[in-house]
Amino acid sequence: MHQLDALKLYTTVVADTGDFQQISRFQPQDATTNPSLILKAVQMPAYQQLLQDTLAQLAGAPQDEVMDHLLVRFGCSILALIPGRVSTEVDACLSFDTAATVARAQRIIGLYQVQGIDKARVLIKIASTWEGIQAAAQLEREGIHTNLTLLFSFAQAVACGDAGVKLISPFVGRIYDWYKKTAGAQWVEAANAGANDPGVQSVRRIYNHYKKHGIATEVMGASFRNTGQIIALVGCDLLTISPDLLAQLQAGEAPVQQFLSADLARQMDVPAVHMNQAQFRFAMNEDAMAGDKLSEGIRAFCADALKLEKLLLTA
C-alpha cells in the first residue's frame, strides 16, 4: 500500500488545486481552491475555453460578479470529479468587512444553487480575522458552511470553535516558513521536523483542544512544504494537499502511523479556552508569527484576486 492510500485510512484527503484536470488521479474526497490557485489555472491553455465562455456569458457585468461566476465555474467542474465538497473563497480584500463578506458568500452560494449544486457541497472560505469569523458565524446560522482559512494561531482556532464554523484550515507550511526564516543560521532542519515542526505542533494543539471539549469544527491541515509534515498529522480530520505532494505520497512506500485521534485527545489534560473580541485581538497582538502571516496572506490573496480581475479585463 502506498502512503496516499494508507493516509486515507485515517484522514480525509483533500486536493488543494484549481487545476481540476489533475484531481481524478488522486481520488480525493474534497477539494480546495483560493485566488492564487485559480489565477494560476486560468493562465493554462487547458482552461482558456472555460475563461472565454464565462467572459462571453457575462459581457458588461461588474468585475466582482464576473469573478464570482468564474470561481463557481471552477467549483462546479471540480464537484463533477469528487464525491464531497469544494471550498470557494470570498475576496480577501473584504477580510475586515463582516457585512460585505456575508453578502459575497450568499451570492456565491446562490450561483452554485442556480447550477443545481446543493449548498451542503460548498464551503465558503473566509480569512480568520475577527470580522471574518463573525461573518462565518452568521453564515453558519443561515445553513451556509464555512472554511476559515489563513489560520496561524490557537487564538484564531478558539474563536472559530466558539463561532461554530464548519471547518478550519491551519497553515502548517507558512508557520514553518516563519520560524525557519526568523531562526536564520540557527535553524536545524532535523531538529524541527516531524513532531517538532512548529506548524505540526500548532495543528496538533488545535485538534486536541477541539476533540477534548467536543467542539464539532473540523480541522483540516493545509499549506504543506513536504510529505513529512503530512505524515506527522495522520489522523487529523482532513488534510488538503497540493498535486505535487499527493504524487509524492502516491509514490511513497514508507510506513504510515496514526498520530492524532479523538480518543487520545479526550484522555489529555487540555483546559477549555474561550475568547471574546478583546482577548482575541490581544492574543493576536502577542503572537508575532500569526499577526505577520495573517497580514501577509491577506495581502497576497488580495493581490492575486486583483491580478485575476485585470486578466479578466484583458482576456
Looking only at Cα atoms, what is the longest distance across the chain? 59
Q: How many other C-beta atoms are found inside a 10 Å radius of the C-beta of residue 183? A: 12
**How many degrees, rounded to 5, is the angle at CA 267 between CA 266 and CA 268?**
95
Bridge partners (DSSP) of residue 122 are 86
CA distance 148 to 166: 8
How far is Cα 125 from Cα 113, in angstroms, rounded to an integer?
Answer: 17
How many Cβ atoms are within 10 Å of 200's Cβ, its own excluded? 27
Phi, psi of 148, deg, nearest 5: -85, 115
Q: Are 18 and 50 in contact (CB under 8 A)?
A: no
Catalytic residue among 40, 125, 212, 293: 125
In terms of Cα–Cα distance, which of 280, 55, 80 is closest to 161? 280
In the annotation, is 125 catalytic? Answer: yes
Q: Are 67 and 51 in contact (CB under 8 A)?
A: no
Amino acid sitting at position 254: A
Q: Which three cell numbers stand for residue 42?
A: 486560468
The set of long-range contacts for 16-22, using a CB threshold of 8 Å and a minimum separation of 24, is 16/222, 16/240, 16/241, 16/242, 17/41, 17/242, 17/243, 18/42, 18/74, 19/44, 19/46, 19/243, 20/74, 20/77, 20/78, 20/81, 21/46, 22/243
Residue 184 carries which side chain, given as an amino acid letter? G
66 touches 55 (CB < 8 A): yes
Q: Give the catalytic positions in this structure.
A: 125
